[in-house]
Amino acid sequence: MRILHVTTLRALAPGHRKQLRHEVLAAKDACLQWDTISLQTDAVQSDFERQVPRVWRSALMLRLYRWMYVVRKARDYDIVLLRTLSLDLFGPLFGLFAPNLVTVHHAKEIEELAILDSSTFSKRVSTFVERWFTPLTMKSARGIAAVTSDIKEYEIARFPHLRNRAIVFPNGYHFAEAMPAEDKRLRTMVTFTFVCSTFAEWHGLDRLLEAIETDTGEGQKLVRIHLVGALTDEQRAAVHALSHKGTEIYVHGVLDSDGIISLLDTTDVAIGSLALDRKNLFGASTLKVREYLASGIPVYATHHDTALPQSFPFYYSDSAVSLSRMVNFAELMTNYSREEIREASRSYLDKKFILEKAVQELAEM
- What confidence tens digit (pLDDT) does each residue in 168-184 have? 999 999 998 888 999 99
Same domain, 287 and 273: yes
Residue 239 has pLDDT above 70, yes or no: yes
pLDDT (0 to 100) of residue 244: 62
pLDDT (0 to 100) of residue 121: 80
Same domain, 208 and 276: yes
Structural domains in the chain (count): 2
Same domain, 282 and 164: no
pLDDT (0 to 100) of residue 1: 95
Residue span of the structural domain in which 170 resides: 3-174+350-363
Distance in angstroms (rounded) separating the CA atoms of residues 183 and 256: 20
Same domain, 146 and 226: no
Question: What confidence category does residue 39 fall into, taking pLDDT thresholds of 50, 70 and 90?
Answer: very high
Distance in angstroms (rounded) separating the CA atoms of residues 6 and 137: 16
Same domain, 96 and 118: yes
Residue 204 has pLDDT above 70, yes or no: yes
Which has the minimum average pLDDT: 184-198, 207-221, 281-295, 297-311? 207-221
pLDDT (0 to 100) of residue 138: 97
pLDDT (0 to 100) of residue 117: 60
Same domain, 116 and 103: yes
Distance in angstroms (rounded) separating the CA atoms of residues 301 and 320: 9
In sequence order, the β-bridge partners of residue 8 are 39
Same domain, 38 and 15: yes
Of 361, 365, 363, 356, nearest to 27 by C-alpha is: 356
pLDDT (0 to 100) of residue 55: 96
Of 207, 185, 182, 183, nearest to 194 by C-alpha is: 207
Is 0.85 surpassed by the pTM of this model?
yes
Distance in angstroms (rounded) separating the CA atoms of residues 329 and 307: 20
Residue 217 has pLDDT above 80, yes or no: no
Which has the minimum average pLDDT: 238-247, 311-320, 342-351? 238-247
Same domain, 160 and 296: no
259 Cβ neighbours under 8 A, 6+ residues apart: 228, 252
pLDDT (0 to 100) of residue 219: 62
Residue 339 has pLDDT above 70, yes or no: yes
Residue 115 has pLDDT above 90, yes or no: no
Between 247 and 293, the more confident residue is: 293
Kindly report the average pLDDT of the chain as a whole number: 93
pLDDT (0 to 100) of residue 218: 66
Residue 245 has pLDDT above 70, yes or no: no
DSSP codes of every residue in 234-268: HHHHHHHH---TTEEEEEEES--HHHHHHHHHT-S
Residue 348 has pLDDT above 70, yes or no: yes
Average pLDDT over residues 288-293: 95
Q: Which of 32-41, 123-132, 169-178, 271-280 has the largest mean confidence? A: 32-41
Same domain, 124 and 245: no
pLDDT (0 to 100) of residue 243: 67
Same domain, 197 and 78: no
Distance in angstroms (rounded) separating the CA atoms of residues 55 and 312: 49
Average pLDDT over residues 325-354: 96
Average pLDDT over residues 96-101: 97
Same domain, 333 and 355: no
Same domain, 153 and 17: yes
Average pLDDT over residues 2-25: 93
Distance in angstroms (rounded) separating the CA atoms of residues 166 and 140: 14
DSSP codes of every residue in 154-185: HHHHH-GGGGGGEEE----B-GGG--PPP---
- Counting residues of the chain whose pLDDT is more than 70, the rounded percentage is 97
CATH number at residue 77: 3.40.50.2000
pLDDT (0 to 100) of residue 65: 98
